[in-house]
Amino acid sequence: MSREFLPNAGPGTITCEPSARPDSIDAEAVVVFMAEGGVGMGSAAEVDAATGGLLGRLASAGELSGRRYECVPLLAAPGLRAGQLVVVGIGKREDVTAGVLYRAAATASRHLAARPRSRVAFLADGAWTTKQVEQAVAGAAVGMVGQDLYRAEPKRTRFGTTIWVSAPVEAVERGAVIADGVNLARRLVNMAPDDIYPQSFADECATIAGRTGLDIEIWDEDRLVRERCNAILAVGRGSSRPPRLVLLRYRGGGRAGQGRAAIDASPPLAFVGKGVTFDSGGLSLKPSEGMLTMKCDMSGAAAVLSAAATIASLKLPIDLVVGIGLVENMTGPAAYKLGDVITARNGTTIEVHNTDAEGRIVLADVLDVIRGEKPRRIVDLATLTGACVVALGQDVAGLFTNDQPCCDAVAAAAREVGEQVWQLPMYPDYDEQIKSEVADIKNVGDGRWGGAITAAKFLERFVGGTPWTHVDIAGPAFSEKSRPWTDGGATGSMVRPLVELARAGG
């Protein structure tokens, strides 16, 4: 297991101690998780005893409630060596999940990271499952990393060492790797669009592939022309920075002893990511307020790259192929126009009615390339439509599918790690809305209604009969304001569910 894919950007050293009394822990701060209804049992009860009943008294006085993500710092708590004790709420004990612990740990970590700290200890609870420990470790490591790439004075400072007490070593190690994957996605999305563009993103992919053992192909303009990827090329024409298509492969299917023949016979799981590194809207120009955060339009690409790196670092026993389409959607003199008809790689003709509906056009070619790999399932991630945000809000990703078991697997993986998703319908009637009078299909539906679904129906035309689920992350991929558990900006949405999907066998 390796964390080398995120050098010099991870959350410092993460270690564990099998067991330690709260009064013996040598750290600047100690974090304890507390459920509603008082001190109860486990690590909170141990801290209460070590501090002479302090937590119980504060709970009785109403100063500590244990409500989810309530974060109460206590300075110079009696009986502890640590200068600060942080009590973070996790809600009702019976409702505690891996996702709740991820956010609770991130909340405490984000609070403490407001200034430099060399050693911070987190007290795990013996009642937690291994998965819950992993996600808590990941949350703590994500919470201390802020949106500080370009700040002279960072608002968040990574801890020198994070100590997990009473936590299994393997769970801590896996949680740290998962956190690095989330933080990698956040870093890429938070980068300025002048720093991350198709070629520089492809270079990032190559660097990550080299560190994790992923195989990589990068298709430049000439290769895209030879491969008939006219849809990607059309969207990229308006930019001075040419498009790229990246293919990543991970071959881990033989690690459980199946042998080479079994690897070759096993269809891979496939991830596809939309990588519009900046979206001006093209000639259908966005207003300034709608364009400001459009560096996040490559969040799907960042997520699938980061998930692949995490899967490889965890050495999961699965075969994986990843396709990433990378373009800038700009307004240069060669920009594609309304009324243009594009012939996609699979031969489908697309009439352009809106150049700001570019992501689906890019994905058309990438999906066709990935379909050629004969995967057993395809999961694509894209910040595809504002309509999905209107339907589900900013915290829930939309799911769309041509195969219910595939969609159920994605939804189960998301629930397992505490990310929110919701399936929307894919009735055949929606196909009528993307029919064109002059081409096979057009790139938007009829009018404003059902826009997230008509976009998904467009994508469905390029997967053939392969089981496929589309995840629209336009809402949760980027937070325009801070939350208790994260700074504003990129969230790393869907990295953890994709890793969990791979762990479950795809």
CA-wise closest residue to 458 among 382, 389, 406: 382
Tokens of 214: 């992923």
Q: Nearest 5°: phi and psi at 325?
A: -100, 125
CA separation for the pair 131, 133 (Å, rounded): 5
Catalytically active residues are 286, 360
* CB contact at 8 A, 251 and 266: no
Q: 333: burial class by Cβ within 10 Å (0-12, 13-18, 19+)? A: exposed
Q: Which amino acid is at 76?
A: A
How many other β-carbons are positioned within 10 Å of the β-carbon of residue 424?
A: 17
CA distance 349 to 440: 5
- Sequence-ordered list of residues with C-beta below 8 angstroms from that of 152, at least 6 positions apart, any chain: none
Contacts of 186 (CB under 8 A, 6+ apart): 142, 145, 147, 489, 490, 491, 492
CA distances from 228 to 90, 139, 440 (A): 53, 43, 17
Q: Which helix (H) or strand (E) holds 397?
A: strand 397-401
Can you give the length of the chain in residues? Answer: 506
Report which DSSP code applies to 287: P
- CA-CA-CA-CA torsion sign (238, 246, 463, 396): negative
DSSP string, 262-280: HHHHSPPEEEEEEEEEEE-
Q: Count CB-CB contacts under 10 A for residue 134.
A: 29
Q: Which of 209, 434, 234, 457 is nearest to 332 (CA)?
A: 234
Q: Is 460 helix (H, G, I), strand (E, B) or coil?
A: helix
Give, in order, the Cα–Cα distances in Å from 448 to each of 139, 157, 286, 452, 455. Answer: 38, 44, 16, 10, 12
DSSP result, 105-149: HHHHHHHHTTS--SEEEEE--TTS-HHHHHHHHHHHHHHT--S-T
Q: What is the CA radius of gyration of the chain?
A: 24
Residue 328 to residue 194: CA distance in whole angstroms: 11
